[in-house]
A and B are shown apart, each in its own frame.
Chain A
Amino acid sequence: MRYLPLTPADRAEMLAVIGAPDIDALFKDVPAAARAKDLFDLPLHAGELEVERELSALAGRNRAAGAGPFFCGAGAYRHHVPATVDHIIQRSEFLTSYTPYQPEIAQGTLQVLFEFQTQVAALTGLEVANASMYDGSTACAEAVMMAQRVTRREKAILSGGLHPHYAATTQTIAHAEGMEIVRLPAAVDAEATVVDVLDAETACVVVQTPNVFGVATDVTRIAEAAHAAGALLIVVTTEAVSFGLLKSPGEMGADIAVAEGQSIGNSLNFGGPYVGLFAAREKLLRQMPGRLCGETVDAEGRRGFVLTLSTREQHIRREKATSNICTNSGLCALAFSIHLSLLGEAGLRQLAVLNHARARELKTALTAVPGLEVLTPRFFNEIAVRLPRPAAEVVEACLADGVVAGVPFSRLNPAGGMDEVLLIAATETTTTQDIEALARALTRSLGR
């Protein structure tokens, strides 16, 4: 078997050195009743050719996003990742290395993490960032837990513009910790009313911008109201490219900023692995979850990097840790960082403007579709529209015309009562022809 280097001769020799008669002797502590004598009812080993054939057949039954006009967003976005990124992350030293617990032989990983943290802090406009969380949704949940620790209050307000999966994830974790979650009803203009329920019990307000309906908002006013009530403001961003164009969360008064980093450096991958960005004000540092990489010197006085402030974490603090997180999303963070290094400030800005320009073109085309109402006033690259029929049906009809028209809001929130709302995203990968095809398909399906 190609991955197992030991030969029968090796095994015999090794058993002799150990002083065991056979391999079963090494498993003697397993209760007899639990020892599986026969092989399990699963296929036997297979060569590369066969495995590749099966996996290709499975992949072939999926319609790749690039196969035609494609407009799905809602928390995951199709962007072009330069070839360099995927090439570098497959280098042995990055792909097959571990968490940098022995810093002398992990300076590659550690320096990358330090650069990543700096990039994330810069993008979010906050002072410190960690070395990544699993994804944006769990980062959001962890931010709410952190607000509870910082303020010692038990209530969190989730805006109706927050991605329903993020809200559900946060509810799951917070419920376990006994927090009260006030989940406001889904609404396109949710940010207008989110401060109405603020009170002296509120630990934090969670607001997403651009929100799940694509609406971009200046949340400065919300920050002021939250702070006046002694609560923290958590700002969520699901489209990381928007940082290239929109005012940063820190600039608007956020105390904690979380984001999904998938848009930069990482493929859609049917939902994972992704990468959670987590940044906060410096004074909140010791309550932050996740790994942190810090600068220091070695015995010869040379600069180096180490994981630091580990006493917050599970392997030391155990039940008093700020989080239970151990493995995070290192390779995806590396991909993010490489792509961002290639883009640079100028490139990220240009990419963001390009996305926005495509969305403006999209909006113009959509406005001309009879029966369709554009709901999103100010947007980055995603627009919510109301259709005269359930959006899920319209998406199926458009699919028959070879167009993947977007994500029905009902897919995210079936009980939300917004079945006619469709979320449509455009990125730099969207062409004019794609937009024209979408407009035609929508017109056709609504005309039926």
Chain B
Amino acid sequence: MRFTKDHEWVEVAGEVATVGITAYAAEQLGDVVFVETPDVGRQVKAGDSFAVVESVKAASDVYAPVSGEVVESNGEVADAPETVNASPEAAGWFAKIKLANPAEVDALMDRPAYEAFLQTL
């Protein structure tokens, strides 16, 4: 699993990357009440805002950690947003992206680096 400074995570399997927000982000957000996931077929560039996650008092943009085409959107977080709080780095994934440029993943932090980064905040 790889991480961005904006608290998104990426898990790659072959050509497809699964993306979500980290446990740290979910905890900071508080109770998640709504998730707006991207439409299947949408093209995203790394850094684009491609989803929105809402708590009662805040709406936060989620940025695509990698570029590519959205091939799947997680209906479960749409129906049961609490999944993001319960399992942010597994069942609470947002979307799957078919990688346009697999090398982008290598530039992201691994877990030890992300944990170290969290210490600086």
Contact = CB atoms under 8 A, between A and B. Distances in A.
A316 interface: yes
A317 B54 CA distance: 10
Contacts of A316: 57-59
Interface residues of B, number: 8
Interface string B51-82: 00011111100000000000000000000000
B34 interface: yes
In terms of DSSP, what is the predominant structure of the interface of chain B? strand
Contacts of B33: 311
Contact of A317 (B34, B55, B56, B59): B59
Nearest to B36: A286
A118 interface: no
Contacts of A320: 59
A311 B58 CA distance: 6
Main secondary structure of the interface of A (DSSP, over half): helix
Contacts of B59: 311, 316-317, 320
A227 B95 CA distance: 30
Nearest to B55: A311
B22 to A, nearest CB: 21
Interface in A303-355: 308, 310-311, 316-317, 320
Contacts of A286: 34
B29 to A, nearest CB: 12
Contacts of A310: 56-57
A310 B33 CA distance: 11
Contacts of B54: 311
A186 B36 CA distance: 41
Nearest to A306: B56
Nearest to A320: B59
Nearest to A318: B59
Contacts of B55: 311
Contacts of B57: 310-311, 316
Interface string B16-56: 00000000000000000110000000000000000000111
A315 to B, nearest CB: 9
A311 B33 CA distance: 10
Nearest to B56: A310
A286 B58 CA distance: 15
A316 B55 CA distance: 11
B30 to A, nearest CB: 12
Contacts of B56: 308, 310-311
Give the most central of B34, B55, B57, B59: most A CB within 10 Å.
Answer: B59
A308 B31 CA distance: 14
A34 B59 CA distance: 41
Contacts of A308: 56
A293 to B, nearest CB: 14
A287 to B, nearest CB: 11
A211 to B, nearest CB: 37
A242 to B, nearest CB: 36
User: Which residue of B34, B54, B57 has the most chain A CB atoms within 10 A of its CB atom?
Assistant: B54
B82 to A, nearest CB: 15
Contacts of A317: 59
A308 B56 CA distance: 8
B32 to A, nearest CB: 11
A311 B54 CA distance: 7
A96 B60 CA distance: 35
A126 B56 CA distance: 25
A317 B61 CA distance: 11
A311 to B, nearest CB: 4
Interface in A151-170: none
Contacts of B34: 286, 311
Nearest to A321: B59
A99 to B, nearest CB: 15
Nearest to A308: B56
A311 B56 CA distance: 7
A310 B57 CA distance: 7
B42 to A, nearest CB: 13
A311 B55 CA distance: 8
A181 B59 CA distance: 31
Nearest to A286: B34
A103 B58 CA distance: 18
A308 B55 CA distance: 11
A153 to B, nearest CB: 16
A320 B59 CA distance: 10
Given A308-B56, A310-B56, 4 more contacts: A311-B33, A311-B55, A311-B59, A316-B57
Interface of B: 33-34, 54-59
17 contacts: A286-B34, A308-B56, A310-B56, A310-B57, A311-B33, A311-B34, A311-B54, A311-B55, A311-B56, A311-B57, A311-B58, A311-B59, A316-B57, A316-B58, A316-B59, A317-B59, A320-B59
Interface of A: 286, 308, 310-311, 316-317, 320
Closest 3 CB pairs of A and B: A311-B59, A311-B54, A317-B59
